[in-house]
Structures are given as C-alpha cells and as structure tokens.
Chains A and B, each alone.
Chain A
Amino acid sequence: MPGALRLGDILVLGLGLGLIVILWQQRGDTGDSVIIRSNGDIFLAVDVRLNRLVRVPGPLGETVVEIRQGRVRVQSDPSPRQLCVQQGWIAPGASAICLPNRVSVERGHSGYDSIHY
C-alpha cells in the first residue's frame, strides 16, 4: 500500500529499531566476569564481554591475559612450564594459575542461571 508510511512513521520505526539494537548489545552486562589476581590481590575484575589485552606484572615478567568475545585465556607468560598458557580458553567457573609469576585468572560466572518463584 503506497503512501501508508509518512516521514514521522519512518522516523519512529528507525528510532525504535535503534533503541532495540542498543539495548540488545548492552544485554548481559551482569553476566560473566573475569578476575585477575596478582600475588593474591585482585589486579583487575572486568566483564568478559569487554575485549582487551591485560598485561599483569609479576616477579618473572609480564603475563598477558587476553579477553576476547566472551572468552578469556592467558596468552603469554614467562613461567618455564607454560601450564597456564597451555590450558587455553578458560571454562566458566574455572581458573588458570601461573604460579611462578604469581598470577591467576579466574573466569567467574553469575551465581544463578535463573530464579523461579
């Protein structure tokens, strides 16, 4: 049906869709987290959805933690046996510990999947 849509209609449709897309992208901010510890103290606690490369200084050198697309891993580490690097992407609830460099990366998750009343 031609002429059914006016300028304001198209504006409303566009803005509405934009709002929905923005809300969709911001969804899940309360979900999973990453806690990086250095020497037992919390070095950084961030959301797993924020892509970033974190350099954590330790007694042997720098441990590089990569957070990308909702996953986290230890990208490189100066420890001799490279255990935490070989662990790869860390599963939710698990953690990778680079003991010689005194760095640990914990992939936390929100305590509840759902709550029923």
Chain B
Amino acid sequence: MTPSTIDLPVRAQDRRIAALAAAAVGLAVAEAAIPLPVPGIKPGLANIVTLIVLYRYGWSAAAWVTALRIVASALLLGTFLTPTFVMSLAGGISSLLVLAALVRLSPAWLGPVGLSVLAAMAHMAAQLGLVATWLMPGTGLWGILPVFLGAAWLTGLVNGLVVAHLTARQHSTRKESPS
C-alpha cells in the first residue's frame, strides 16, 4: 500500500447530509421547470428541506444542505457563477443567518411558520439589496419591494405550514423532545 493514500472516512452524518441535499436539489430543479409570472418569485420548496434539517439535525447540518443545494442546483441548471447563482447564494446566506439567530428561541414560542416566513423575507430582502447595489444600481426598486416581500411572505407561510405538518407527524411517531 502506498503511504500517500488519502483515506476519507464517510460518516453516517455525511451520507445523511448528502441524501437531504439531494432531496433539496431535486425540489430546486423541479420548481425551476414551473413557469412563473414574475422573474424572481418562486415557491422555494427546497427551504422545506432546510427547515426540517434544522429541526432534526441542527443549524450546521442545515447550512451544509443549503450550501450543497445552491451549488449543485446551479451546476444542474447551468447558472453556476452567474448573477443568478450569486443572488441565490446571497439569499441562502441571509436566511441561514436569520435562522441561526432565531433557532435559539423557544420552539413553544416561535414555530416553523414564523421561522419560514422570516427566513423567506430575509432571503428576498438580501436578493433585492444585491440587485439594488450591484446588478441594477439606481433603478427604483421601492415600488416592487412590497410585491416581492408579499410573495416571500406567502411562500414562507405555505412552506412553514408544510414543515409544521411534517414535523408534527414525525414527533407523534417518535416520542422524543427536540434537542
């Protein structure tokens, strides 16, 4: 055996993150095929996966799944390193930061719907901020800001209800308190 062999042990956690990221990529690619009336508004179904991972495995696993989803779906959709990819990255980072701040709150006080709506609006605000400062500086975005934030509010609500439904079913089958 050559001494320079690099051994990369694959832990169970790695396989889990890879599988969950694959689910998120599947949702992201599937929703890219849905025709939508306004560019920039989409359901954001992959965030359902992010939130479930956040509840079950913690923030760092959610961050891994999100990062892998952004890069892998960009490679699949051919938008890697384009402005679309940078927008996606900015939205992902800002929503993860919001989730990092909010996940410390008691789950009895703030549930998945609140987390989902706040993360979606942070996502949208970061993207519009990027458009206003980098992509199209000087254009009046104030007029369309409520439309985009309203879309984020609605998709965040729907995704949050889906997450609440899925995690509630999970907790009723597995009687254990979330750490």
By a beta-carbon cutoff of 8 Å, the part of chain A in contact with chain B is 1, 3-9, 11-13, 16-17, 19-21, 23-24, 26-30, 115, 117
Do A27 and B161 have beta carbons less than 8 Å apart?
no
Does B1 reach chain A (CB closer than 8 Å)? no
Q: How far is the CA of A16 from the CA of B121 in the complex (A)?
A: 8
* Chain B hits for A8, CB < 8 A: 105, 109-111, 114
| B148 to A: closest C-beta gap in Å | 10
Q: For the complex, give the distance between the alpha carbons of A117 and B109 in Å.
A: 46
Instruction: Please pick, from B108, B110, B136, the residue contacting A12 in the complex, using a CB distance under 8 A.
Output: B110
Taking the closest CB of chain A, its distance from the CB of B16, in whole angstroms, is 26
Instruction: For B150, give its contact among A11, A12, A20, A26 (CB under 8 Å).
Output: A20
Residues of B within 8 A of A (CB): 105, 107-114, 117-118, 121, 136, 139-140, 142-143, 145-146, 149-150, 153, 157, 160-161, 164-165, 168
**Contact in complex: B142, A5 (CB < 8 Å):** no
Q: Knowing A6-B108, A28-B143, A117-B136, say if A23 contacts B114 (CB, 8 Å).
A: no
- Whether A1 contacts B109 in the complex (CB less than 8 A), given A12-B117, A23-B142, A26-B142, comes out as no
CA distance A7 to B105 in the complex (A): 12
Q: Are B109 and A12 in contact, CB atoms less than 8 angstroms apart?
A: no
Q: A115–B137 Cα gap in the complex (Å)?
A: 12
User: B108 to chain A: which residues have CB within 8 Å?
Assistant: 6
Whether A1 pairs with B146 at a CB distance below 8 angstroms is no
B114 touches A9 (CB 8 A): yes
A112 to chain B, nearest CB (A): 10
Kindly list chain A residues whose C-beta atoms are within 8 Å of the C-beta of B139.
115
**Distance between Cα atoms of A98 and B147 in the complex (Å):** 41
Chain A nearest Cβ from B114, distance in angstroms: 4
Task: Give 6 pairs: A residue, B residue, CB < 8 Å, sorted on A.
Answer: A4-B112, A6-B107, A9-B110, A13-B153, A19-B149, A20-B150
Contact A6–B114 (Cβ < 8 Å): yes
Contacts A9-B117, A20-B153 aside, 9 further interface pairs with beta carbons under 8 A come to A1-B161, A4-B165, A5-B164, A8-B111, A12-B114, A13-B153, A17-B153, A26-B142, A30-B143
